[in-house]
Amino acid sequence: MRRIFILSQVIFLVLLFACNNSRGRGGEVPDSGLHERLLSLPGVTVKKIAPDSLFSEAYELRIEQPLDHQNPGGEKFTQRIYLSHRDFARPMVLVTEGYSAKKNYSLELSKILKANQIVVEHRYFGESRPDSLKWEYLNIRQAAEDHHRIVELFKPIYKGKWINTGISKGGQTAMFHRRFYPDDVEVSVCYVAPLNFAQEEPRIHRFLETVDGAECREKIKQFQRRVLKQRDQLLPLAKWYSKGKGYSYPMGLEMAFEYAVLEYSFAFWQWGASPCDSIPGEGASPDQLLDHLIKVAGFDLFSEADVKYYEPFQYQAYTEIGYYNYRTADFADLLKAAPPNASNRILAPQNVPLAFRPEVMRDVHEWIQTEGNNMLFIYGELDTWSASAVETGGKTNAVKVVQKGGSHKTRINTLPEPGRELALSTLEQWLDMKIERQPYQ
């Protein structure tokens, strides 16, 4: 018995040593050689950061990019990306952010595919802003060139299947990248991404005038009118709320208040945060009215900080990718600050030409219709942005899945069956790999 005990102890110690040795000193994962390979990339600075729990290594990288890819020897800017490493043999998910990049998070698709991940901050956002904001170089082609160069840098390191993806404007960005460089990735997954054909998309208004039931739409309109009628009680409350949040408004508090009311119907359906029966009725107090307005629409979009943050987006919206305005006829007798043709153009850069080029989005639409293979589009039925959702046509193998009752928060893992299974089985087919089915969370 003693010999068996000693032998078992020896085996235990050997296994323990082997386990510790496999992780390296201090319990670290053994050196993959990735850090050294990153350091050898031209025009790239490397900073190692703590990885998300799904990954073994993570890096914040700064990549020198031409401001104008048609003039690679000209002015440069530095683009920030985050690389999260799992295994060189696994697929790579390229997250084409539409705005700034969040540090060290994992996208749904990276979890589903157990993939490596690169998150790219969009040019002119966050820390990827050129020293001089030459607006003419903020367009979908230049952004696609940014993404193409990143793919070229990292494909020799990650030789598996590549998937580009994004949410909302990030989903648009994935579309645009694929349009100009269809062979950069095997698959595109675009979440809740509109494809607008006008500077201020009229399909948005048709959606808001027909979505769901007439009773709910009437409740929304009456709430908006009720808030405007009680402006004398609500504006002082909005002032104190804004002071507490540190908000100031370039357009002034009263116009921001009216714009928030006009925004309410769009936001109500976009986010699906409140059921119709939660809309405050006729006997609601001023506090209840303001609280609900803040919950659904908010004032932050019109604050100085957000106007500055979203300024590059508004430039893109009013020159290439489209946006929306507000119809004010139902409130004309109650508006005092907002103009009859209330437009979000007021949030765009001032004293900058904003000539819209409708042919840009038409070109993307035609390409998706005729050549956009291996593209998966995910939408929520009640999301306002579904008004201008992509139409796939019948000439490609693209798949569009719409979640009934879904909002802008719709994802693969929010899809009820058979929608989720359709999305996952489609990815399996296109990527030629097995995807483990996980329970709904």
Q: What's the CATH code of the domain at 87?
A: 3.40.50.1820
Tokens of residue 254, six digits: 């009263």
Give alpha helix (H) positions in 246-320: 253-271, 286-296, 304-309, 311-316
**In a domain? residue 28:** no
- Is the same domain home to 238 and 315? yes
Backbone angles phi, psi at 47, to 5 degrees: -135, 120
**Whole-angstrom Cα distance, residue 303 to residue 283?**
30
Spatial separation of the C-alpha atoms in residues 329 and 217, rounded to whole Å: 15
Domain boundary among 347, 377, 407: 347
Confidence at residue 440, expressed as pLDDT on a 0 to 100 scale: 59
pLDDT of residue 16: 42
User: 78 and 141 in one domain?
Assistant: yes
The neighbour count for residue 85, using CB atoms within 10 Å, is 23
Q: Which run of H or of E encompasses 118?
A: strand 116-120
One domain, residues 133 and 175: yes
Extract the residue ranges of the chain whose pLDDT is less than 70: 1-30, 440-441
Residues 318 and 411 in one domain: no
The values of phi and psi at residue 349, to 5°, are -55, 135
Where among 302, 323, 347 does a domain terminate? 347
Nearest to 427 by CA among 389, 393, 377, 379: 377
75 within domain boundaries: yes
Domain region containing 262 = 202-347
Is the backbone peptide bond immediately before 418 cis, with ω within 30 degrees of 0?
A: yes
* Position 277 in a domain: yes
Domain presence at residue 15? no
pLDDT at site 1: 39
Six token digits for residue 384: 């306002």
Report the first-to-last Cα separation within the chain, whole angstroms: 49
Number of domains in the chain: 2
Tell me: do 337 and 385 sit in the same domain.
no
Same domain for 400 and 339: no
Written as one letter, the residue type at 106 is S
**Residue 8 placed within a domain:** no
Residue 6 lies in a domain: no
Domain identity same for 280 and 401: no
- Distance in angstroms (rounded) separating the CA atoms of residues 305 and 242: 12
Both 297 and 275 in one domain: the answer is yes
pLDDT at 17: 42
Can you tell me the distance from the alpha carbon of 88 to that of 104, in angstroms, rounded to the nearest whole number? 19
Candidates 270, 263, 269, 295; CA nearest to 280 is 295
Is 11 a domain residue?
no
Residues 6 or more apart whose CB falls under 8 angstroms from that of 153 comprise 41, 44, 63
- Residue 31: the pLDDT is 79
Whether 334 and 214 map to the same domain: the answer is yes
What per-residue confidence (pLDDT) applies to 21? 42
Q: What's the rounded Cα separation, in Å, for the pair 61 and 186?
A: 24
- pLDDT for 102 equals 84
Question: Which residue, of 347, 374, 397, is where some domain finishes?
Answer: 347
* Nearest partner of 211 among 165, 170, 167, 265, judged by Cα: 265
Is residue 212 assigned to a domain?
A: yes
Quick one: 408 and 273 in the same domain?
Answer: no
Residues 274, 292 within the same domain: yes
Do 215 and 327 share a structural domain?
yes
